[in-house]
Amino acid sequence: MIIGICYDLKEDYLAKGFSPEDTAEFDKSETIDGIENALHELGFDTDRIGHIWNLTSRLTQGDRWDLVFNIAEGLRGFGREAQVPCLLDAYDIPYTFSDPLVLSLTLHKGMSKRILQNLGIPTPAFGVVESQEDAMKIGLPFPLFAKPVAEGTGKGISASSKIQNRKELISVCGSLLEEFHQPVLVETFLPGREFTVGVAGTGREANILGIMEILFKESEEDNIYSLSNKENYKERVEYLRVNDTMAERAKQIALAAWRGFGCRDAGRIDLRSDAQGLPHVIEINPLAGLHPVDSDLPILCGLAGITYHELIEMIMQSAMKRLGFKNGKAPDSRPCCQGACNAASIKK
């Protein structure tokens, strides 16, 4: 059974002249090595495809794979994470992780929060700012928190993201609009504990891998999970496995969000608690980082006693089961939604 691997390699884009921040979400070679080694240990043959341009070229040449392990983040637009899955769907090639709809909705934080509200899942009150005039109309009480509406890995987040007054709000939104050329999400700042929850599986079979609390050491961006703090996490951040009452509530909420959005195979849900101790969903990550050492999902799995090899095995088992693979062979036909038609809601 041949597993193709789609990814965006950081060094490829740096060589093309993109900046380190431009490539912050892209993968290091250690990630691809780790995934490929784990797949080999599981008995699969692999074929490194790379980014969408390589995939397009290979497809037009007639190349095909039994399954594609897709972690490609894409480069442009709100649908950038959906580009590779869309192409694979067009060629009827099965792949790991979520479908184009889920990947597009979760990348756009404003759309995600509207769906969370509809599902009855706690998420901070918010507004989407497309101009400085919009920022002047935000009626939420301070403090607020602002970030680009469709970035990951802490891009666009810094100490200035926590906003105390109208003047700061207009200034920060103006800077983010100019820098990232996309709307800004403005939401109520939550002062409580911050968690990330690992999830594996699809629909009713999804389960919690573990939960860890993110504790910030003293830094210039204290209590903010910024790009800088993420890149320097060994000095600035402490990760702690937790299992208290609030953490258990966070697990329930995370699982409801995962199922409600129809996420597949594995990923993360990020949450932060309000002043009353209720965890709120901050972000849904259906295409979570998989660096064996530095990414949050493998880190929390390690705290829960799950090895990197076991994590990759869970992802493959989930994908192959929902796709109907038996004895390493693909089925004659696949379900239209590939097993992700389960929704769940949770009330505040």
DSSP 212-265: EEEEEPSSTTTT---HHHHHTHHHHEEEEE--SHHHHHHHHHHHHHHHHHT--S
When pLDDT is averaged across residues 132-141 and rounded to a whole number, the result is: 94
3-class DSSP state of 159: helix
pLDDT score for 50:
97
Closest CA to 197 of 283, 82, 291, 96: 283
Does position 226 have pLDDT exceeding 70, yes or no?
no
pLDDT score for 326:
83
Closest CA to 72 of 19, 126, 7, 169: 7
Q: What is the pLDDT of residues 187-208, one digit of tens each?
A: 999 999 999 999 999 999 999 9
Q: What is the pLDDT of residues 280-298, one digit of tens each?
A: 999 999 999 999 999 999 9
pLDDT grade, residue 234 (50/70/90)? low
Has this prediction a pTM greater than 0.75?
yes
Among 59-73, 103-117, 233-247, the range scoring the smallest mean pLDDT is: 233-247
Among 24-28, 86-90, 131-135, 220-224, the range scoring the smallest mean pLDDT is: 220-224
- Which tops the pLDDT comparison, 243 or 327? 243
Residue 161 gets which letter from DSSP?
Answer: G
Spell out the residues 6+ positions from residue 61 whose beta carbon is closer than 8 angstroms to its own.
none
Q: What is the pLDDT of residues 13-47, one digit of tens each?
A: 999 999 888 888 999 999 999 999 999 999 999 99
Q: What is the pLDDT of residues 137-160, one digit of tens each?
A: 999 999 999 999 999 878 889 889
Task: Give the domains, in start order, of the chain with CATH numbers.
Answer: 2-97 (3.40.50.20), 125-188 (3.30.1490.20), 194-323 (3.30.470.20)
Q: What is the pLDDT of residues 88-107, one digit of tens each?
A: 999 999 999 999 999 999 99
Does position 341 have pLDDT exceeding 90, yes or no?
no
Sequence length of the chain is 348
Does position 324 have pLDDT exceeding 90, yes or no?
yes
Distance CA 128, CA 111 (A): 10
Quick one: CA torsion of 231, 237, 241, 244, rounded to 10 degrees? -130
Residue 190 gets which letter from DSSP?
Answer: P
Percent residues over pLDDT 90 in the chain = 82
pLDDT score for 22:
84
pLDDT score for 153:
73
pLDDT score for 329:
72
Find out whether 226 and 152 touch, Cβ atoms under 8 Å: no
Does position 311 have pLDDT exceeding 50, yes or no?
yes
pLDDT grade, residue 230 (50/70/90)? low
Q: What is the pLDDT of residues 59-73, one digit of tens each?
A: 999 999 999 999 999
